[in-house]
Each structure stands twice: as C-alpha cells, then as structure tokens.
Structure 1
Amino acid sequence: MFLSNRLWRNSLIVSLVLLVSNQMAIKTLSESKPNQPRDMISGRYTLKYQNVHNELNVLLLPNQQVKIDLLALLKTGSDLRNGVVQAQLPLKKNSLLYQEGACKLAFKFTNKAVVVTETNVEECGFGAFVTAQGTYVKRSNIPKFAEEPARIKP
C-alpha cells in the first residue's frame, strides 16, 4: 500500500511538471513576434532569357516594409539599355506595388520566385524595349545592395 501511494504521488508530480512545461512552451510560442512574418522573400532574384538580364534584390524590413533594388538590362548587339527601380514599399499579402506616375510594377512572391507584372512600362523611364516583367527565380536568400544597383554581366 505504501509503495502504491508513493508511485501514485510520483506519477502525479511528473504529470504536473509536464503540464507546466507544456504551458510554458505554448506561452513562449504565442509571445513570439506575431506581427513579424517569417522572412521568405529576402534575397537575390534573377530573370534571364535571350538578351534580357534582370536582377531584383529584396530585403524585408521591420513593420512589413520591403526594400527593393531592380535592374533591368536589355542587350541588342553592342547596345545595352537599362531600367532601374529603387524603393521601399509596404508588403501586403506577399505582394508589393510600385507606382511612379503612370508606371506600375506589381510584385507577387511565391515559394522560390517573384512574378513581376507591368502597367504602362513606357512611363517607367526605362530604355526602349526594356522590361521588368517576368518570373524571377530566387538565387540566394541574401540580397546584394550597393550605392548603385548591382551590374549584371550580360
């Protein structure tokens, strides 16, 4: 009988310790930055096909802000034309919207890429026939920012 009571008491103590540990873990998880999403968008993305060589660098900042640095390059023969966008934009549901006058660029982030669509690209101040539109593939989780946008060798 004595052994049974001791075993019962030890089991109760172990159960209480496990319950308290569980509650502490749940509390810790619930207190961890609920408004800060896991950073799945920061990085360096590229879009390359034929004579188009674009690079997009993205950095998630506090308060749902995102810093972008876009360089769009078009090589035609010995001629090299470009377009540059540098901005800080609010992130809304894995999307960004850049608007400068009539120029609009929409960025939609997926698992390992970002899809860029344009409206009125001729108003963006890019070189003739230069486009930012397309699906950029994530190459690194670490963006490359410099005073001037990174130049890509075509």
Structure 2
Amino acid sequence: MRAELCHFSGLKIHPGHGVSHCRADGKVIRMLNHKVASLYHAKKNPRKLRWTILYRRKNKKGISQEASVKRRVRRNVKATKAVGGLSYTEILNKKLQKPEIRQKQRENAIRAAKDKKKASEANKKAARSATVAKGKAAAPVAKQMKKGGAGKAGGKR
C-alpha cells in the first residue's frame, strides 16, 4: 500500500481516500478531499493558503525549517610553530624589521663567517709548516736509519 500526494495541498492521500479529477489534457489529478477539490476548481493559489505544504515551504515554516539546520563548517586552523631554533615571536620580530637592518645583519654575519674561515686556514697553514719543520729536523735520523748506520749489527761487513 502506497500513500500518494495531493496535487493541490501536498499532503498524503492514504488508500481508499481522496478524489481524482481528469483534466482536459488527459492528466489525472488526485486530491485529498472535497474541500481541496473545490479550492482547486475555484482556481485558488495553494501558495496563499496557510495550511498547504506549498505555503509552508514558500514561507519556511515547520518541517523544512528543522531540515535546514546549519551544518558546522570545519576550517583549517593555521598553527604557528618555531622554526630552526627561533621562537615564533622572534620570527615575527625579524619579519617586522626594516630591510636595511636585516641587510646589515646579513653582511655582518657573512663577514664574521669569512673571518672565521680565514683564521681556520691560517691555523692549518701554521700547523702544516710546523709539521714540515719537525719533519726536516727528524730527516737526518731517518736517513741514517736507511743507510744502516747506528743499528745493532751496524758497522762494516
């Protein structure tokens, strides 16, 4: 058993109830009762009658109002995190600095890095020259060892 909908009011018509009307174009219209049929034949507008479903839909009454409950919208929240050992406040402060100040800081950092590199290269040169000088002092002893000079079985054969 299937309940049909009234053409005029939009309400359900249960089996064994209702009035059907055949229009001139051959379309069969089912209506809930004689009251609805008389309003239909009087060419009343169902959107202006407060008790019809069409009126309730048009004026957002009742069921349609409950059905259109606003859904919560999930938005992505941007999280602010520390990066590279800097806290978020320090990062913001750097962003807010004037470009000239940042440029000077950058140049100073580059200069400091170059100075450090020069110092490390100078230390390497000094260490190399010290090992070379040490090697020259130890060279005569090494030559003697090669010749077979001051060994256990040293001497002439």
| Higher RCO structure, 1 or 2 (CA under 8 Å, sep 6+) | 1
Select the structure that is richer in strand.
Answer: 1
Select the structure that is richer in helix.
Answer: 2
- Structure number with greater Rg is 2
TM-score (norm 1): 0.23
TM-score (norm 2): 0.23
